[in-house]
Structure 1
Amino acid sequence: MSDNKNSYKKIFKTTSLFGTVHFINMVISVIRSKFLAVFIGAEGYGIYSLLNSTIELIRKAIGLNIETSGVKKIAQANTEGELQNISVQANILLWIAVITGGIGSFFAIVFSNQLSVWTFGDYGKAVAIGWIGITILIKQLTSAKTAIMQGMAKLNFLAKSSLYGNIIALLINLPLFYFFRLDAIVPAIIIASLLNYLCSLFFFRKMNIKVTLYKPKKIFTEGKEVMLFGTLLSLSAFLPVLVNYLIQVFIRYKGDLNSVGLFSVGMVVINAYVGIIFTAMSTEYYPRLASFNKDKNLESEALNQQAIVSLLIIGPVIVLFLFFKEYIIHFLFSEKFVPVLPMLKWAILAMLFKAVSWSMGYIIIARADSKVFTKTAIGYNTLHLLLCVGGYYLDGLRGLGVGFCLFYLVHLIGNYILVFFRYKIQLSVPLFKIFGITFILCSLSFLSSDIEHLVYKYLSFIVLFSLITYYSWVEINKRVDAVGFISKFTKRKGNNKND
């Protein structure tokens, strides 16, 4: 029981660290999104999103997903405590980043005309794509350094690197958008990637890893496992980006750039704000799973703990967002983005299913189960594309939101069948109980959030939010003794003041 509590404490500690960092990054994103909405509008946001999606598509196709594939090898070397091996693996990863990043940038520059036609329907954005193509190399180098930090459990460095890079980029880019509006999009993207790289470089140097020039033969020999695993992971990383890109292109084709901007804003809210919990937790969860070496008992325990923590934290967030989505869109962006609300309502509910399916999906990655990994990646992403595109075709953004929610429900059921039958991993009774209660309260919130009578609407919010917050608090306190921790923290602060 003590070990169980320690595991929960570790999860919550890491989540609180990266949750705090991502909360600050979220505030930065709020400020940036608000000013972008005012300075370049929905159409400008559509251009900004399509340019980023185009470049990210190339990076994911060529980059071997080193931000994930590199972590596994570094984490294993770090667990074994072999300093020489850590240095070798770190250098191999850095040189793989240089090679893949260079190829990606070259591809973006050479084929910028074709990419502009595919994405925007003409050659108008070819020069912009060529310039932004430079960021593929920069981002690959940044990803390699952050993977090394994560693999070596230097989570403080990782958190500070992300935080400082985003703050400095915001301070520099906001004046650019103010003065140059749409013309600032390309310089802003390049500046943000460069500043994030410089911050990662600063903290990487604190780890005292000497960068060594290796011959190509050694890079490919020593890095074979990373490249093979990275090729496997690239499929899972590339396909979601491809799907997102194709959805945006389809929306532009059936609608316009304004509609693309609305869709992109919806995804920003889901991924950056509601989905903050997933980014925070994956930082600690994946390296821990990778270190278990396919021990199903340890994996089962970690999976149940992670899914429970995800549900307990995200439940109240979902209820809050459902009832106040209109005000959130007005505050984060502007009234011009209100048409995204029908999509957003369904997409927010989908995060409940993702909280559990996401936890199960990492088991496949940690086991490097190539056959299952390839089949599920292709199958899930094909389904995602069909449901979202079909939904948009039938009912615009609302239909797209319904398709998005249906996808994560199927994703949850599919992953459960997979981990249960293939890996013999059991989901615990407490997890089923917590999911059931959270699902009921979130579903009631979904149905009540659009009540026209304001008194009834906000009475419903008070009741449902109080219930889900109280329930989450009680369940969290069972696992980490949150009351005791707060009491000790308060006493410590009081003693420090007296001293």
Structure 2
Amino acid sequence: MSQENSSYKQIFKATSIFGGVQVFNILISILRAKFIAVIVGPIGIGLYGLLTSTIGLITSVTSFGLGASSIKDIAYANEQADQGKLLEISGVLNKLVWYTGGLGMILTLILSPLLSKLTFDNYDYTWSFVLLSVTLFLGQLTLGKDAVLQGTRQLKWLAYANMASSVISLVVTFPLYFIYGIKGIVPAMIVMSAMTLIVTQFFYARLKFVLPNLNFKETWAKGQGMLKLGFFLSLSGIIATACSYGVRIFITRFGGLEQVGFYTAGFGIINSYVGIVFTAMATDYFPRLSASIYDKSKFSLIVNQQGNVALIILGPILTAFVVFVNFAIIILYSRAFLPTESMMQLAMVGMFFKAAAWLLGFIVIAKNDTKVFFWSELVANIYHSAFSCVGFYFWGLEGLGYSFGLGYALHLVQMYFIAKLKYDFKFNREFLKIFAVQFIIALAALIVMKTISNDLISYGTGLLLIMATTVFSAYNLNRIINIKDQVNKILKKNK
């Protein structure tokens, strides 16, 4: 049990470090989102969402998945203490991000009129895309430096870079929104990209790497493996971005730009503020899983342990959001965004299915079954998008909440079928028990908030359910890492 406790402690340690960074960035994002929402309103948020999703689509196409594939190679060379190989891989990556970043910028410049027409059904935003083309180049350069920092395990520097760039970008972009309103969105996006690169470069320079000077032919020859792996992985990202783009376009056509603003804001909270758990854990989870992926009993244990931790953390967070989502909307945005309340409550419950499917998706990647991952993601994104479009068409924003839960429930079944059939994986009883209890409590909170009109009764019952899931999580947390012992150790150190 001590080895198991040690594994759980490692998971919580990594999660707390990166969770802290994410919380800090989220606080900065809250300030930025609140400011933008007040200044530009739902229409401005909708415009921002359409611009970022379009640029994201081009980035997915031209980045070739170098972020994922390069980290794997850099981390391996760093683990083997092969400085020559590490510098070679970093040098290849440095050249590749320049080439791919330039490709993305040029492609956006050429396609800017078409992008404006497809996105907004007019050519009014052609120059917006022309100006934003530089963000693809800057973003790709930043990605390369982030990959080296993460691959060499300079996680504190990476954390500092993320936090510093968030603060500086916030301070610099505030005046743009305040002075220019909606017209300040594009300049603010460019400034944010530039500030992020400058700050990341500052910490990257501390590595003092002297990279080899490679020409195009050498870069291509040595980078083919990185590009091939990244290409297969990036295909899933391209599909996801394209489907998200398609859903936004559908909502624009049948609901208007304001509805896109509601959709963007609602799922922005879900993916950013709740997604902190996934972001924080993925940094540690994927490397550990990859290291043990060919040991069936070991990788199965890692997946189940990671799942337990995810549910212990997510349970109270999701239930609290279900109960107090309207307050969260007002704090994070404004009262103008309250129409997203029901959509977000439904999606929060659906996050339990997403968490379980998320765990299983990493198994496929760690097994290097990129084709299986690609086809499973393709199928999943197709029905996710179809559910979203049908849900919005018939039931509006609330339909998007139902479609989110239904989509990830089906996604979980799909991924579990793949994991069971190909890798003989199964969730253990402990995971299933924690999942069932946390899901039932959150579902009960949803039913209470949607069916009881008396605020005193609904919020009172909701608070009791939040307390129940918190106590359940605390009990399980103490059981797996022995909180009392950890507190005693800290107290002894401070004496």
Distance 2:462 2:152 in 1: 43
Q: Deviations over 1:418-477 (max 9, x none)?
A: 111101123221111111111111111111123211221122122211111111111111
**Paired residues, number:** 494
Gapped regions of structure 1 (runs ≥ 5): none
Residue 353 (structure 2) pairs with residue 340 (structure 1) = no
Query: Distance between the aligned counterparts of 1:96 and 1:269, measured in 2?
Result: 33
Equivalent residue, structure 1, for 2:262: 262
Cα deviations by residue, 1:85-108 (Å, 9 ceiling, x for unpaired)? 111111212211111111001000
State how far apart, in whole Å, the 2-side matches of 1:151 and 1:284 are. 12
CA deviation after TM superposition for structure 1 residue 83, in Å:
1.5
Q: Does 1:208 align with 2:211?
A: no
Aligned 8 A contact 2:87 2:212 in 1: no
Task: Give 1:470's aligned residue.
Answer: 471
C-alpha distance in 2 between matches for 1:438 and 1:90: 44
- Whole-Å separation in 1 of the counterparts to 2:350 and 2:478: 26
After superposition, what is the alpha-carbon deviation per residue over 1:133-160, rounded to whole angstroms, capped at 9, x for unaligned? 1111111111111122222222112211
The answer for the alignment partner of 1:87 in structure 2 is 87
Percent identity of equivalent pairs: 33
Q: Is contact 1:75-1:287 (8 Å) kept?
A: no
Written as runs of structure 1 = structure 2, the 5 A alignment for 1:186-225 is 186-225=186-225
CA distance in 2, matches of 1:72, 1:291: 11
Shift of 1:191: 0.8
Distance 2:261 2:118 in 1: 18
Partner of residue 323, structure 2: 323
Name the CA distance, whole Å, in 2 between partners of 1:96 and 1:70.
10
Task: Provide the secondary structure at the position in 2 that maps to 1:111.
Answer: helix
**Paired AA for residue 337 in structure 2:** F
The letter for the 2-side match of 1:316 is P
Q: Distance in 1 between matches of 2:28 and 2:107?
A: 32
Conserved 8 A contact 2:361-2:373: no
Give, as a single letter, the amino acid of the residue that structure 2 aligns with 1:471.
F
Once the two structures are superposed, residues 248-301 of structure 1 have per-residue CA deviations (whole angstroms, 9 ceiling, x without a partner) of: 111111111111111000111101111110011111112222333533333212
Query: 1:209 is matched by which residue type in structure 2?
Result: F
Asked if 1:274 is matched to 2:274, the reply is yes
Distance in 1, matches of 2:268 and 2:55, equals: 17
Post-superposition offset of 1:81: 2.0
CA 1:486–1:293 in structure 2 vs 1: closer, same or farther (change >3 Å)?
same
Q: Which shows bigger deviation, 294-303 or 473-482?
A: 294-303
Question: How far apart are the structure 2 equivalents of 1:149 and 1:454?
Answer: 49
Q: What residue in structure 2 maps to residue 114 of structure 1?
A: 114
Structure 2 counterparts to residues 306-455 of structure 1, below 5 A: 306-450=306-450, 451-455=452-456
1:227 aligns with 2:235: no
Distance 2:242 2:376 in 1: 15
Contact 1:304 1:428 in 2 (8 A): yes
Which residue number in structure 1 is paired with residue 140 of structure 2? Answer: 140
Give the secondary-structure state (helix, strand or coil) at the position aligned to 1:210. coil
The match for 1:157 is 157
Q: Is the 8 A contact 2:252 2:260 kept in 1?
A: yes
Instruction: Supply the AA of the counterpart residue of 2:126.
Output: A
Match of 1:43? 43
**One-letter identity of the residue aligned with 2:43:** E
SS for the counterpart of 1:133 is helix
Q: Which amino acid aligns with 2:490?
A: F
Q: Distance in 1 between matches of 2:431 and 2:275?
A: 20
Equivalent in the alignment of 1:104: 104
Q: 1:221 to 1:292 in 2, by over 3 A?
A: farther
3-state SS of 1:144 partner: helix
Q: How many Å separate the matches in 1 of 2:298 and 2:93?
A: 28
Using structure 2 for the length normalisation, give the TM-score: 0.97
Whole-Å separation in 1 of the counterparts to 2:472 and 2:95: 49
Alpha-carbon distance in structure 2 between the residues aligned to 1:154 and 1:295: 28
What is the CA distance between 1:491 and its match in structure 2? 4.3
CA distance in 2, matches of 1:243, 1:423: 29
Partner of 2:482 in structure 1? 481
Does the residue aligned with 2:207 lie in a helix, a strand or coil?
coil
| Aligned equivalents of 2:144, 2:295: Cα separation in 1 | 28
* Other-structure match for 2:56: 56
3-state SS of paired residue (1:449): helix
TM-score of the two chains, using structure 1 as the length reference: 0.96
8 Å CA contact retained: 1:350, 1:405: yes
- Check the 8 A contact 1:75/1:291 in 2, yes or no: no
Q: 1 CA distance for matches of 2:449 and 2:212?
A: 58
Q: Determine the C-alpha separation between the residues in 1 that align with 2:483 and 2:207.
A: 33
Deviation digits for residues 348-403 of structure 1, max 9, x if unmatched?
11111111110110111122203311210210111111011111111111111111
**Contact map agreement 2:149 2:155 (CA 8 A) in 1:** yes
Partners of 2:77 and 2:439 lie apart in 1 by 41
Q: What is the CA–CA distance in structure 1 between the aligned matches of 2:457 and 2:384, rounded to whole Å?
A: 36
Name the SS of the counterpart of 2:356 in structure 1: helix
Any idea what SS the aligned residue of 2:423 has? Answer: coil
Counterparts of 1:430 and 1:86, CA distance in 2: 41
8 Å contact from structure 1 (residues 72, 290) kept in 2: no
User: Residues of 1 paired with 2:210 and 2:292: CA distance?
Assistant: 29
The superposition leaves residues 7-53 of structure 1 with CA deviations (integer Å, 9 ceiling, x where unpaired) of 11111111101111111111111111111011001001111111111
Q: Does the aligned pair in 2 maintain the 1:22–1:276 contact within 8 Å?
A: yes
C-alpha separation in 1, matches of 2:241 and 2:294: 29
Contact 1:151/1:287 (<8 A) preserved: no
Q: Describe the shift of the 1:227–1:293 C-alpha distance in structure 2 as closer, same or farther (beyond 3 A).
A: farther
| Alpha-carbon distance in 1 for matches of 2:242, 2:168 | 30
Matched residue type, 2:487: I
User: Given that residues 293 and 299 in structure 2 are in contact (C-alpha distance below 8 angstroms), is that contact kept between their aligned partners in structure 1?
Assistant: no
CA contact 1:71–1:287 (8 Å) conserved in 2: no
Letter in 1 for 2:483: A
Alpha-carbon displacement from aligned partner over 1:178-201 (angstroms, at most 9, x marks no partner): 111111111110111111111211
Secondary structure, aligned partner of 1:223: helix
